[in-house]
Amino acid sequence: MNPILKNILAIIAGIVAGSIVNIGLIMLGHTLVPPPEGMDPMDMESLKTFMPMFEIKHFVGPFLGHALGTLAGSFIAAKIAANHQMKFALAIGVWFLYGGVTMVMDFPSPMWFNALDLTLAYLPMALLGWKLADNK
């Protein structure tokens, strides 16, 4: 396959796979740790209203979704990429980091969660995904 097409496929597959893992884990988190009574987890205004009622346990699903989604997407991108695997894995990490920064700017989550999420869930997981892909 043409290396350029393979690299484009690597980015698309990484974003799609990472997004599926992210959303799946966040939804699983809402199932295992139900949100406060009356909250609709799919409605941003409802999330903002109920955020003060969240406990630490409510942040585990989102953190795992962000971290493992980035890990999965970066791993897949690094596995598929024709060359420069680390750069493609990091590109996926930057893509999801941008989403994380956007959420921090638009969403009133606690500062401890923002710091933890932005520093550990994206770029470190992208590097780990690249390492696990082991494309020497």
DSSP, collapsed to helix, strand or coil, labels residue 114 as: helix
Q: What is the pLDDT of residue 117?
A: 97
**Angstrom distance (rounded) from CA 25 to CA 43:** 17
Q: What is the pLDDT of residue 94?
A: 98
Give me the average pLDDT of each 10-residue run along the chain (136 residues): 94 98 94 89 85 91 96 98 96 98 90 96 97 83
What residues have CB less than 8 Å from 100, skipping those under 6 apart? 66, 117, 118, 121, 122
The secondary structure of the chain, three-state, reads: CCHHHHHHHHHHHHHHHHHHHHHHHHHHHHHHCCCCCCCCCCCHHHHHHHHHHCCHHHHHHHHHHHHHHHHHHHHHHHHHCCCCHHHHHHHHHHHHHHHHHHHHHHCCCCHHHHHHHHHHCCHHHHHHHHHHHCCC
Q: What is the pLDDT of residue 69?
A: 98
Q: What is the pLDDT of residue 43?
A: 85
Structural domains counted in the chain: 1
User: What domain range includes position 46?
Assistant: 3-133
